[in-house]
Amino acid sequence: MSDPITSRADAEAADAADVLAFARSRFVLPSGVCYLDGNSLGALPAAVSAAVVDTVTREWGTDLIGSWNTNGWWTMPTTVGDRIGALVGAAPGQVICGDSTSIQLFQSLVALARMRPERRVLVTDGANFPTDQYLADSVGRLLGLDVVRVSPGEVTGVLGPEVALVSFSAVDYRTGELWDAPAITSAVHDAGALMLWDLAHVAGAVPFALDDVGADAAVGCSYKYLNGGPGAPAWIYLARRHQEALDLPLTGWLGAAAPFDLASSYRPAGGAERARIGTPPVLSLRALDAALSAFDDVDLADVRAKSLALTSLVLERAAALGLESVTPRDPARRGSQVSLRLPHAYEVTQALIARGVVGDFRAPDLLRWGFAPLYVRYVDAWDAMATLESVLETEAWRDPSYANRAPVT
C-alpha cells in the first residue's frame, strides 16, 4: 500500500504517479465537476458518440436491414456479452447482453429454481436492491417457494436441504460492503443449492472470477461502472455446465434454436444463446460496445488498487472529521464506494451537487459516492471531502432550495 494521502499536494502527486491516468482521456467529462456517481450512471466514454452516429447514419441509414447480417447486429448480444464476461471472470460463451437487470433476474431466478424442483426455499438478502427482492418474491409466488431473507454474511445459518437457490448482490448498493463470494458460493453448493450473483456494483470496478468462484448464474447492469449509458442493456451469465439443462422462463423467439424456421413451438438454442429473448436494442448495444473499449489495456488489478486508495482517502478524511461511514474500513470488505450517514443527507447531497461534487442520496440518510477509477482522480476525492467539510461547517445545505425532491435522488 502506498503512503496515505493527507494533503492536496499528496493527491496531486498520486495523480502524477497513477498508472491509470491515461484512461481519463477516454471519457468526456464536464470541467469543474467531481463526478462521483459512476456507480449509478457511468460517465460518457469518448468513443460512444461516433460509434452510435455511424450505426445510425451508415449502418441503419444506408445498409438498412442488411445490417443484421453484415454489420454484426444479430450477434451483438453474444459479442458484447463476451466482452463483459472478460471483465467478470467468465470465459467466452456464457454471457448474453440485452434487456434489463430486472428481466435477467427473473430469467435466472426461475431457471435456477427449476433445477431444484424438490426444494421449496429461495434465499435473498433483506438489504438487497429492491428489484432483486421484489422479483424474488414474485418468483416465490409463481413457483410456490418460501422466500427467506438473510444477510450474506449469515447465510450458513439458513442453508439446508430445503434451499433451492440463493440470490445475493456481491456489493451492497447502500453500504458498499463486498461479500466473500467464493466462501458463500461454496457454502451454498455444499448445501446442494445454487448461487446467483448480482454484480451491478462489481462489473468494471472490482475484479470478480465468476468461473473460478463456481457461480451458477449472475446478472448485472451496464450503465454503472461499465459506462454503457442511461438504460444500457444488462447481462446474464449462465455457467457452461448448466446451459443445456436450463429451462428459462422467457422463451422469446431469439432464444430458439433456429428463429427463422418460424416454428410454432419452442426448441431452445444450444449454449447461452437460449438466454436471448427478443430483438436486441442495437443502438444501445453499439453504445455499450464502444464504451467497453475504455477498458482496453486496463489491468483490473490496477483498477482495484486505485479504487481502494480513493475510498481509503475518503474514509480517512471522514473519520478525521468525525463523520459516520457505513462502508467497511477493511479494504477486503469494500467495493468501490463510500456511503456516509448524515443528518439531512438529502440536502447535503444537493448542496454538494450545486458545488460540482456529484454523488447521490439513498434513503433514509446516506450520502453515496462511487469511485470509477478510470476517470476519478485523487484530487477529485480530496476536493470532494474539502467541499463536504465546508458545506457542513457553513451549514450551506440549509438553503431551502436543497430540500426540493426530484423523482431521482
Could you give the residue numbers annotated as active site?
Answer: 129, 198, 223-224, 368
Q: Do 272 and 96 form a contact (C-beta atoms < 8 A)? A: yes
Where are the extended beta strands (E) located within 20-126? 27-28, 34-35, 44-45, 95-97, 121-124
Q: Please report whether residue 129 would count as binding ligand PLP according to CB under 6 A.
A: yes
- From candidates 27, 74, 106, 173, binder to ligand PLP by CB under 6 A: 173
Closest distance of CB 81 from ligand PLP, Å: 16
Q: Please report whether residue 293 would count as binding ligand PLP according to CB under 6 A.
A: no
Q: Do 197 and 181 form a contact (C-beta atoms < 8 A)? A: yes
Distance CA 145, CA 383 (A): 49
Q: CB neighbours of 336 closer than 8 A, spacing ≥ 6? A: 39, 171, 176, 201, 205, 206, 225, 307, 310, 311, 370, 371, 372, 373
Query: Residue 166 in 3-state DSSP?
Result: strand
Q: Please report whether residue 100 would count as binding ligand PLP according to CB under 6 A.
A: yes
The helix or strand, by DSSP H or E, that contains position 148, with its residue range, turns out to be strand 146-149
Q: Please report whether residue 409 would count as binding ligand PLP according to CB under 6 A.
A: no
Sign of the dihedral through C-alpha 82, 85, 86, 91: negative
Q: Work out the end-to-end distance of the chain between its first and last CA atoms, rounded to an integer number of angstroms.
A: 35
Q: Please report whether residue 200 would count as binding ligand PLP according to CB under 6 A.
A: yes
Distance CA 118, CA 406 (A): 46
Closest distance of CB 345 from ligand PLP, Å: 18
**Main-chain phi, psi angles of 39, to 5 degrees:** -85, 0
The helix or strand, by DSSP H or E, that contains position 169, with its residue range, turns out to be strand 163-169
Q: Which stretch binds ligand PLP (CB under 6 A): 41-49, 184-192, 198-206, 254-262?
A: 198-206
Q: Please report whether residue 35 would count as binding ligand PLP according to CB under 6 A.
A: no
Q: Which stretch binds ligand PLP (CB under 6 A): 125-133, 203-211, 263-271, 311-319?
A: 125-133
* Assigned C-alpha cell, 6: 493527507
Nearer to ligand PLP, 131 or 251 (CB): 131
Q: Please report whether residue 101 would count as binding ligand PLP according to CB under 6 A.
A: yes
Nearer to ligand PLP, 129 or 369 (CB): 129
Query: What residues numbered 202-261 form the site for ligand PLP, per CB under 6 A?
Result: 221, 234
The helix or strand, by DSSP H or E, that contains position 163, with its residue range, turns out to be strand 163-169
DSSP 207: -
Q: Which stretch binds ligand PLP (CB under 6 A): 99-107, 206-214, 256-264, 334-342?
A: 99-107
Closest distance of CB 396 from ligand PLP, Å: 28
- From candidates 162, 177, 198, 380, binder to ligand PLP by CB under 6 A: 198
The per-residue DSSP string of 213-279 comes to HT-SEEEE-SSSTT---TT---EEEE-GGGGGG---S---GGGBS-GGG--SS--BPSGGGGG--SS
Closest distance of CB 217 from ligand PLP, Å: 14
Closest distance of CB 238 from ligand PLP, Å: 18
- Pick from 403, 367, 366, 373: nearest CA to 385: 367
Nearer to ligand PLP, 67 or 227 (CB): 227
- From candidates 131, 138, 151, 251, binder to ligand PLP by CB under 6 A: 131
Q: Which stretch binds ligand PLP (CB under 6 A): 128-136, 206-214, 364-372, 393-401?
A: 128-136
Nearer to ligand PLP, 82 or 132 (CB): 132
Closest distance of CB 177 from ligand PLP, Å: 12
- From candidates 55, 124, 169, 284, binder to ligand PLP by CB under 6 A: 169
Closest distance of CB 24 from ligand PLP, Å: 24
Interacting residues toward ligand PLP by CB under 6 A: 100-102, 129, 131-132, 169, 173, 198, 200-201, 221, 234
